[in-house]
Each structure stands twice: as C-alpha cells, then as structure tokens.
Amino acid sequence: MRGTLESSPSAVGYSETSPLLTNEKECKTRQLNLFETVSSIVNCFVGICLLSMPYAFSKAKWFSPFCLLAVTTLAYFTSYALCLASNMTNTTVYSDIGLRAIGKKGQFFVRICVGLQFVTIPMMFLIFVWRNSFFLFELHYLTLCFIMTALVTPLTWFLTYGEMAFLNTIGVITAVFFAFETFYCFFFLKHAPREPETSSFADMAMGVGIMILGQADHACVPNIYRDMKNKEQFPTALLLSFVSIYIIYCTVGLAGWLSFGDATDIICTENMKYHPGGLLFYVATGIIVINTFVSVPPFLSVISELFEDYFGIRKSSGKRVFRSCLLWFLALGAYFLTNYLNYVEAITGSFPACLAAFVLPPLFLFYSQNKVVNSKNSGVFQGNAKSYGLWFCIIMGLVFGVGFTIIDFLRLGGYMGD
C-alpha cells in the first residue's frame, strides 16, 4: 500500500465540493505542520495504555516486544488503509467512509464499534487522571474527581485537531519524559533481575489485548489528515508516528516489567510509589497527570462528532455545550468503573477495537477500490493494495477480537486464574 506524492494541488484531488476542503474552510483554524501531525497521531495512540504497558509486558513476558511489534505493524497498515479509503470515498468522517464504501451496514458497524470503544477511552483517561492525582494531593477521592473533571472541561472546547495541536504536543513530550524516567528506574536503580519465564495463553491474551487497545484509535486518523496543511507529507508523518509509538511503548513496557516483575500493577505508578519512590515518583506521577489531562479532548471529540452528526449540532457554541455535558456524563460512569480498570481495558481492546481498527479499514478500502466516488480524488495515496493483504488484516482482526473477548469473559466469570 505504497503511495506516490503529487506536487500540484489538482493532483491532490480537491474539488470545491470536496468534504476535505469544505471542512477546512468551515474550521477556519490553523492547520497542522509535519511535527504537529506526528504529535497528534502519537498522542492519540500513546497514552491510554502507557501506564498499563508494563502490566501487559508482565503478562506476555519475553514475547511482549514481538507481540507489540506485530500489533504496531498491523495498526500502521490499517491506518494507511483507512486514509486510502477516506480519499477514495471523499470524506474524513469514519461513519461516512463506511456508508460510501459498503452502504448503511458499514455506517452502522462504525457507529457501534467506535461508539463502544471511544465511550470508554475518555473514561479511562479520567480514571488515570484521578488515581494519579490522588497520589499527589491529600483530598477525598470524590472531591478530587470533581475538581480534576472541572479543570478538564475547558479543554473540550477545542473542536479541531488544529486547535488541539499544542495539547497533543504536550502529550507527546510528557510521554517521552515518562519513558526516559522508566528507563532510568531500571538501569540506574537497584532492582531484582527478571529471569526468562513462560507465559500462559490466557495471560498473553490479556497482555496483547491491552497492546491492541493502545493502538486501536484509528478513528482519529482521518480527521488529523484533514487538518494537515501539506497532505503530501502525511505518509511520512504516519510512518514516523508508528515508529515513535513502538519505541515509547516498548521502552516503558520492558523497563517497567523488568523493574517491577510479576507484581507490576495495572497502573505502574502504583509500583513507582515504592520503587523508586520519593522525588522520582512524584515527578513521574505529575508527568502522567499532565499527559492524561491533555489527552481527553482528542478522544472526546471523536465520540462527540458521532452524536453531533446524528443530532444535527452544527454551531460551535452548541458543540462546546454538548461536549461539556458528555464529559460529565462519562465522568459519572468512570467513577463507578475505577476498580475494574484492567477488565475494561482488556474487553474494549478486544472485539469493538479490533473491528474499528483492524477489520473495518481494510474492508472499506477493499470495497471502495471498486467503487471510487471520483477517480481523481485519490489524494496523496494512490495505487491499489493487494487484496490478500487486506483480507489478511480483516481475518487477523476478527480472530484476535473473538478470541480475546472469549478469554476476557472467561476471566470475568472466574473460569481462568488471574
């Protein structure tokens, strides 16, 4: 699925009626440069599972780097496939891509899968903000939840990725700092060396499920592409993004697991409270609070757009009110799910995420190749992908999704050990 770049504006395939162009005019906001595009993609894919990656590695053990590489590679190609389908169907709205590729069934599946997935992601970010803030401030937990949610609310008023560029940049910088600190904890502080161990299939499924959740945020990619100024650079931005994602996740996961062993908590700052503890713990916790704090708006915007499109909310003021209300509704749900974070991550990382990230994008591309809305509107991505590669992604996504979901429910039912 390799694309060629065209230098002329006409080659990019925009017409006066193109949704890509229309959305940019309506937004009337600054667009993303190459660095900001990479930052936006990385921040969307890194964050939700950053603190849980050591826990995932503790489950999959020494297979973890290879499992993570396989998931990252698959996520890169399916993200590419989604952008190809976006250009061929001439829209950046994920549900509309499904509608134009395979009809109302495609739109329905996108709304259900993305809805289930992206409803839980902001909830988990809020849980991360609350739990890590609780380490720093001696306040009643419910009071702290209320204060932090109130502080996040104004950030949801940024409606496009161009407006959220500085938030995504802050998110990536804090993720890199956290990776360096985890690296430091392993190599420069005393720790118990980990001997090679075997992992059960159930534990590996739990670990890989978390890895999948951390790289299943494909619904953000078309909108980031829409808001990029020089779209000819998007293939480069996408590649740089996933290389960065792998490095950050692998550094945190491997160093964290080797430092904390099988006692690694689902949120690794719990371990850092005792090892290394002290100043490093408070610095790491502060970094994570900032990282998760600025990562809520990009994900909330995805689920918000589904409802805004359905209810016909067009004005910016109406969108800001709606997103504020949605945030507080999700915060209420997150408060009651705080103690079930590991299972929420694993389950949402299984079937809905696998469909939205690894099944639907190549499926839409496969059908949109035979049903191009405008043969000139192929954007910066051109050329036909091999059908067997697309179906490989589809089959693997289904196998992972169904298999991991069955195992997760067996765990919840007590039929498998932790």
Tell me which fold the domain 49-412 belongs to: Amino acid/polyamine transporter I (1.20.1740)
User: What is the per-residue pLDDT for 7?
Assistant: 31
What are the tokens at 401?
């999704």
Residue-level length of the chain: 418
Read off the amino acid at residue 312. G
Expressed in angstroms, the distance from the first to the final Cα of the chain is 40
User: What is the per-residue pLDDT for 8?
Assistant: 31
CB-based contacts of 362, cutoff 8 Å, min separation 6: 77, 78, 81, 385, 389, 390, 391, 393, 394
User: 147-158, pLDDT tens digit by residue?
Assistant: 999 999 999 999
User: 199-225, pLDDT tens digit by residue?
Assistant: 677 777 778 878 887 888 888 898 898
Read off the amino acid at residue 169. T
- Model pTM? 0.80
Q: How far is CA 370 from CA 92, 94, 391, in A?
A: 19, 18, 15
Residue 228 phi, psi dihedral angles, 5° rounding: -80, 135
How far apart (Å, rounded) are the C-alpha atoms in residues 55 and 204? 11
Domain boundaries, the chain: 49-412
Q: What angle do CA 76, 82, 85 make, to 5 degrees?
A: 145
User: What is the per-residue pLDDT for 277?
Assistant: 72
- Beta partners for 228? 32
Q: How far is CA 137 from CA 155, 271, 283, 332, in A?
A: 22, 18, 13, 21
Q: Is 400 left (phi over 0), alpha (psi -120 to 50) or beta?
A: alpha
User: What is the per-residue pLDDT for 380?
Assistant: 46
Answer yes or no: are the C-beta atoms of 40 and 32 closer than 8 Å: yes
pLDDT along the chain (418 residues), means of 10: 36 37 48 91 85 87 89 91 87 85 83 80 84 83 92 91 90 90 76 58 77 84 88 91 94 87 79 78 87 88 82 88 93 82 60 80 82 48 51 65 62 54
How far apart (Å, rounded) are the C-alpha atoms in residues 179 and 252? 5
User: What is the per-residue pLDDT for 266?
Assistant: 77
What are the tokens at 249?
């996740």
